[in-house]
Structure 1
Amino acid sequence: MQTIAVDAAHRGRGIGALLVGRMLDEARARRVDDVLLEVRADNPGAQRLYERHGFAPIAVRPRYYQPDDVDAIVMRWEAGS
């Protein structure tokens, strides 16, 4: 998954969950085995969103986001999870 974002004024309404859910529905329809993403370590709300959809952390990319020196958490979803 490349990029997903919800404008701050519209967060907390389930829009992000709908977007992730639709993307995973499409992945299943296309028989995709897994989906990888990176999320900022300082964004626990997004991490929880992805975890609720079956993503699990698999790695950390230290200081990936610049110029803030924020780590990226690499997460993976596997078909059937």
Structure 2
Amino acid sequence: MARASRHLIAATQGPPFAGIFDEKLTAAAYETKPSFYIVASHDGMIPPAAEAAMAKAIGAEVTELATSHVAMLAKPREVTG
């Protein structure tokens, strides 16, 4: 990953708004919309087996990539392809 990309992520990725944890969902989007999930086989943040289980739980179409946690930066062509 390019240095500029790392700096951009560090500068723009903040913690989520705390209020999102208090809001109650009436329906999950994955229940009515197609879902896609990338299992990153070299993820050091979330175990790939856990990623696969989450994808299965929502019925997502899965793509497995030999990449790190930030697949969209490490392998952008494969993610968007």
Same fold (TM over 0.5): no
Is the radius of gyration larger for structure 1 or structure 2?
Answer: 2
Structure with greater strand share of residues = 1
Structure with greater helix share of residues = 2
